[in-house]
Amino acid sequence: MQSIIHFSRVSRLLATFLVGLLHSVHTVAAQQGRPAWERVEAIQTLLNGAVPRPEAVRLDLPSVTQDGSSVLVTAEIDSPMTPDNHVEELYLFALGNPSPELAEIRFTPLAGRASVSTRIRLDRSQTVVALARTSGGDWLSGSRDVRVTVSGCLSRDATYQADDVMQTRVRVPPRFKAGQASDIRTLINHPMETGLRKDAAGQPIPEQIIELFQARLDDAPVLTVRLHRAIAANPYLVFHMAPEQSGELTLSWEEDTGETTVTTAEIRVD
């Protein structure tokens, strides 16, 4: 009799385990079957019930990366970038990171192309999602799966020059053709401390990041980028500009401490 009772208890436990396992499998399968943009609360808040047009944002990044600490990503949307019809906002997310937000980019028609490149940190293999909103209020999306061999969410001392923090490098074309978009490349020396790393004594190193980048041609804004802690060390940004006339390009980087670096460059237009 005791054996029968014991067997019945084991059977019930096994049945309970199997039910739980099936539920977990079903939940994972349901998650995988959903569009990537549905899996993050921050994205749902942005959309506020809207459904984005899928595969309308092109994401270019490697399908496999050996090191997740600096992964190049380019996001681009086809748009005429006119005052009446242009991409206003672009949001980048890494769904498997401790904090999914990567960057928020605000374009103006002066950008000429709705395109931006940067380097990001990826904690593990996961999905990267881009979400964009047009001046007409339409939402667009795109996503790419990335396999990561080595986690990249911890900043590293060797990735920047500690004695030269906040120094910048900028490359602009020697001349622009009026109204035609050309790329501008920028980089700032900075550790982009995530707040996840510890010092030699085991104490957390405070978060310290470049949180804002702005580009202006004379008094006209070109684009504004808000950066989050998963942007790789030495924040690298490539964007476009389509000026109609010559002027002075002003680029500014602002740290979360309030420290700011400003660089200017002369823009010549044929």
| Local confidence band at 72 (pLDDT 50, 70, 90 cut-offs) | very high
28 assigned to some structural domain: no
Q: Check residues 34 and 133 and name the one with the higher pLDDT.
A: 133
Q: Residues 105-116: pLDDT tens digits?
A: 999 999 999 999
12 assigned to some structural domain: no
| Local confidence band at 75 (pLDDT 50, 70, 90 cut-offs) | very high
pLDDT at 160: 61
| Local confidence band at 250 (pLDDT 50, 70, 90 cut-offs) | very high
d(C-alpha 188, C-alpha 215), whole Å = 14
pLDDT at 159: 63
38 assigned to some structural domain: yes
d(C-alpha 202, C-alpha 193), whole Å = 15
Structural domain harbouring 186: 34-267
Q: For residue 182, give every residue at least 6 positions away whose Cβ sits within 8 Å of its Cβ, in sequence order, or none.
A: 112, 173, 176, 240, 241, 242
Whether 177 shows a pLDDT value over 90: the answer reads yes
d(C-alpha 182, C-alpha 47), whole Å = 31
* Nearest one of 102, 114, 44, 42 to 77, comparing CA atoms: 114
Whether 247 shows a pLDDT value over 70: the answer reads yes
104 assigned to some structural domain: yes
**Residue labelled with tokens 């202006």:** 216
Instruction: Return the CA Rg of the chain.
Output: 23
- Please compute, for residue 147, the number of CA atoms within 13 A of its CA located in the half-sphere on the CB side: 3
d(C-alpha 251, C-alpha 231), whole Å = 18
Average pLDDT estimate for 90-98: 96
Q: Residues 116-157: pLDDT tens digits?
A: 999 999 999 999 999 999 999 999 999 999 999 988 766 555
20 assigned to some structural domain: no
Alpha carbon 56 to its chain's center: 17
Q: Looking at the 3D structure of the chain, how many domains does it have?
A: 1
| Local confidence band at 263 (pLDDT 50, 70, 90 cut-offs) | very high
Whether 7 shows a pLDDT value over 70: the answer reads no
Average pLDDT estimate for 28-51: 78
190 assigned to some structural domain: yes
pTM value is: 0.84
Average pLDDT estimate for 262-267: 98
Whether 2 shows a pLDDT value over 80: the answer reads no
113 assigned to some structural domain: yes
CATH code of residue 251? 2.60.40.10
* Tokens standing for residue 5: 């009772």
| Local confidence band at 20 (pLDDT 50, 70, 90 cut-offs) | very low
21 assigned to some structural domain: no
Q: Check residues 157 and 96 and name the one with the higher pLDDT.
A: 96
| Local confidence band at 8 (pLDDT 50, 70, 90 cut-offs) | low
% of the chain beyond a pLDDT of 70: 84
pLDDT at 37: 79
d(C-alpha 127, C-alpha 240), whole Å = 26
pLDDT at 26: 38
